[in-house]
Amino acid sequence: MHRAEQFTVKNKTDGSLKSRFKNLMIQIYKTRYLQLLALPGLVYFIIFQYIPMYGILMAFQNYKIRNGIWGSEWVWFDQFIKFFKHPYFFRLIRNTVLINVYQIIFVFPIPIIFALLLNEIKNKFYKRFVQTVSYLPHFISLPAIIGMMVMMLSPNGGMVNNIIQALGGEPIYFLTEPGWFRPLYIISDIWTSTGWSAIIYIAALSNVNQELYESATIDGAKRWQKMIHISVPAISPTIIIMLLLNIGKLLSLGAEKVLLLQTPLTYETSEVISTFVYQRGLVYSEYSFSTAVSVFNSVINIMLLYIANTIARKLTETSLW
Amino acid sequence: MVEDRSLSSRVLDVVVHTSMIFMLVVTLYPVLNVLASSLSSSAANDAGIVTIYPIGLTFDNYRMILEAGKVPKAFVNSVIYTVVGTTVNLLMTSSFAYALSRKHLALRKFYMTVAIIPMYFSGGLIPTFLLVKNLGLYNSMWALILPGAISITNFIIMRTFFQGLPAELEESAALDGANDFQILVKIILPLSKAVFFTIGLYYAVGHWNSWFSAMIYFKDSSKYPLQMILREMIIAANSMKDAASSDDFNTAADIVNLNVKGLKYATLFISMFPMLMVYPFIQKHFIKGVMMGSLKG
């Protein structure tokens, strides 16, 4: 049964081209029911994944819908150069990178701390209750999360501004103030992701051999000492991998949340590469230009991820792929 | 194990319990506040005095939403997209994953390569948008469903599951003369209920909460899912209002806005309600999925 694979990929010297082809056909026929099951998936990947990849060619063109990719004028790197010279180029890079940096500094450590503290709870029911509640935000949609924020931060009767006014302050227009965009993005990120991101650390902690804790207790170790010398080392490989993964994503940031949270008044801090691609491409129909921006972004992302993975492999002998 | 009763242990306990209580309050308060506000009178909402229990209890907000028709329509749309979308997802993902989990499948490595490459490199927003348009799916439900029919992560989780099933079962069935298709239906599927459930829920939550595809692919707002209504009602309206009133002007939009606060809260709660109801029961399946995904991811 395993011969099928060998014939399709490896044995290039075995027999003539014709006999290899014949053999492959026999193998395909033998697995015809499975081939039939794989077919819809293959068609899906070709249509919805590979045809768009081919569409990337338009980044090197001056693409016009009526001419298609075959008939559009080739301009090679002009769209890319246009982006590099764009007045917003540095602003877009800065905004994208800064949100990611803030995520690494402020969002990333919180699930780790949460998992370590949760691990100290002995009561199983209590522990499970806290954990269940902590997943809740993961199941709420982005429009609802941002919607709740808008209501809470409203200058007209929103809870936060009520408190500010009760303390004698002036109401703050959080959503139209460029200086507030990043803090709001990061705070809502913490709210949404803490419980869910902690899962992987909680699982790593539950795999720690309990005898380690017991023998440390016999040696007279205090609880916080066990936490630092047993629990933290147990999850540190996971922490390093997750951290590197985050660093690999330094220049990638989805458009969805930013689009919901930004207003034209905050573009100075809130416009990122992905929202720029959306605006230019779908609002202004500059297909070639925005595809070029997106291709530039993917190429950098792949390079960063590759570097992060290489470092991960060197440091922990575990790689992301 | 001996209980540690030292001072440092008690301090740690205080830190742990304070943090957990803080966590519970911060997570639950906004949701309870939405529920309480949706059941409060407009006077209470305008004054912003509602916390976690209704003030001036009223069901008017829900009644008005039901009568206006926009939200119920969007709710039905969301249900349809979620059910049809999840069904398509499960059919496509499971059949592809099952085929690729069988070691004797000819061309297996080729299929696997085809499935893995898009994980690292994809066409991106614009080429996908133009493809959907060219396929004539613009302004159709299928634009929300077909482009994401197979999620590669979910495909890998399912394939890993199928690979883990004991080979003896199929071998004996194959000896009895069953073909691959009969083996799938009679032996594999009954053993795979849990993985179908888990992956189905992954997809269903994704469909219910999605809005971006609807925004870019739907021209008629009558086709909008609930999340898009939410976006229009609260976020888009607010940014317009804030832009207009940022220099401390009380515009007409402001006044209109104030009166519909309760409606907004009610819509918010309706959009969250199905997920809030099911998630405590399905979370353990999700966790399994996260772990399986992270092993292979």
Any A CB within 8 A of B149 CB? yes
Q: How confident is the model at residue B245 (pLDDT cuts 50, 70, 90)?
A: very low
Residue A53 sits in the same domain as residue A170: no
Q: How many CB pairs under 8 A join A and B?
A: 322
Cα nearest neighbour of A48 on chain B: B147
Domain membership of residue A320 (yes or no) is no
Q: What does residue A251 show for φ and ψ, rounded to 5 degrees?
A: -110, 20
pLDDT of residue B269: 96
pLDDT of residue A321: 56
Residues of B in contact with A65 (CB under 8 A): 130
Which of A197, A192, A195, A196 shows the shortest CA–CA distance to A261? Answer: A192
**Nearest 5°: CA angle at A287, between A291 and B216?**
95
> Which pair of structure tokens corresponds to residue B53?
């229990």
Task: Tell me the residue range of the domain where A19 lies.
Answer: 2-70
ipTM: 0.89
Q: Which among B107, B148, B227 is the nearest to A143, CB-wise?
A: B227
Phi-psi region of B42 (alpha: psi -120 to 50; beta: other; left: phi over 0): alpha
Q: Do B235 and A143 touch (CB under 8 A)?
A: yes
Beta-sheet pairing, A73-74 with A61-62? antiparallel
pLDDT of residue A74: 95
Residue A217 sits in the same domain as residue A275: yes
User: Choosing among B22, B23, B126, which should be mutated to test the A contact, i.e. which has the most A CBs within 10 A?
Assistant: B126
Residue A24 sits in the same domain as residue A104: no
Of residues A224 and A3, more confidence is placed in A224
Query: Measured between alpha carbons, how far apart are the two ends of chain A, in Å?
Result: 28
Tell whether the model's pLDDT for residue B251 goes beyond 50: no
> Which pair of structure tokens corresponds to residue A245?
């993964």
Domain-terminating residue out of A48, A70, A92: A70
Question: Average pLDDT over chain B, rounded to whole?
Answer: 86
Q: Do A4 and B47 touch (CB under 8 A)?
A: no
Domain membership of residue A180 (yes or no) is yes
Q: Which among B23, B111, B286 is the nearest to A42, CB-wise?
A: B111
Residue A32 sits in the same domain as residue A102: no
Q: Do B1 and A31 touch (CB under 8 A)?
A: no
Q: What Rg do the C-alpha atoms of chain A give, in angstroms?
A: 26
A284 CB neighbour count, 10 Å cutoff = 10
Distance CA B149, CA B145 (A): 6
Residue A98 sits in the same domain as residue A188: yes
Q: Do A48 and B34 touch (CB under 8 A)?
A: no
Q: Do A47 and B242 touch (CB under 8 A)?
A: no
The amino acid at residue B16 is: V
Q: What does residue A149 show for φ and ψ, rounded to 5 degrees?
A: -65, -45
> Which pair of structure tokens corresponds to residue B27?
């997570």
Q: What is the mean pLDDT of residues B11-20?
A: 95
Percent of chain A exceeding pLDDT 90 equals 75
Domain membership of residue A241 (yes or no) is yes
Residues of A in contact with B105 (CB under 8 A): 4, 31, 34-35, 38
A104: exposed, middle or buried (Cβ count in 10 Å: 0-12, 13-18, 19+): middle
Residue A140 sits in the same domain as residue A6: no
Any B CB within 8 A of A123 CB? no
- Helix or strand holding residue B33 (H, E): helix B7-38
Which of B140, B275, B149 shows the shortest CA–CA distance to B203? Answer: B149
Distance CA A71, CA A251 (A): 33
Q: Which residue has the tokens 């032996």?
A: B187
Residues B111-146 have pLDDT tens digits of 999 999 998 888 999 999 999 999 999 999 999 999
Q: Which among A118, A175, A281 is the nearest to B242, CB-wise?
A: A175
Any B CB within 8 A of A53 CB? yes
Any B CB within 8 A of A299 CB? no
Residue A140 sits in the same domain as residue A246: yes
Residue A219 sits in the same domain as residue A303: yes
Domain-terminating residue out of A38, A70, A102: A70
Contact B97, B111 (CB under 8 A): no
Residues B71-97 have pLDDT tens digits of 999 999 999 999 999 999 999 999 999
Contact A281, A287 (CB under 8 A): yes
Residue A37 sits in the same domain as residue A97: no
- Helix or strand holding residue A190 (H, E): helix A178-206
Residue A182 sits in the same domain as residue A36: no
Distance CA B87, CA B72 (A): 23
A309: exposed, middle or buried (Cβ count in 10 Å: 0-12, 13-18, 19+): middle
Residues A162-196 have pLDDT tens digits of 999 999 999 999 999 999 999 999 999 999 999 99
Domain-terminating residue out of A52, A70, A88: A70
Residue A59 sits in the same domain as residue A28: yes
Distance CA B47, CA B258 (A): 10
Q: Do B26 and A191 touch (CB under 8 A)?
A: yes
Angle of helix A32-45 versus helix A17-30 axis, rounded to 10: 100
Residues B139-168 have pLDDT tens digits of 999 999 999 999 998 999 899 999 988 888
Residue A85 sits in the same domain as residue A57: no
Any A CB within 8 A of B14 CB? no
> What is the CATH classification number for the domain harbouring A126?
1.10.3720.10
Domain membership of residue A195 (yes or no) is yes
Q: What does residue A155 show for φ and ψ, rounded to 5 degrees?
A: -70, -10
Q: What does residue A197 show for φ and ψ, rounded to 5 degrees?
A: -65, -25
* pTM as predicted: 0.90
Any B CB within 8 A of A152 CB? yes
B17: exposed, middle or buried (Cβ count in 10 Å: 0-12, 13-18, 19+): middle
Distance CA B153, CA A81 (A): 35
**Count of domains forming chain A:** 2
Q: What is the mean pLDDT of residues A98-124?
A: 96
Contact A171, A155 (CB under 8 A): yes
pLDDT of residue A7: 47
Residues A228-256 have pLDDT tens digits of 999 999 999 889 889 988 998 999 999 99
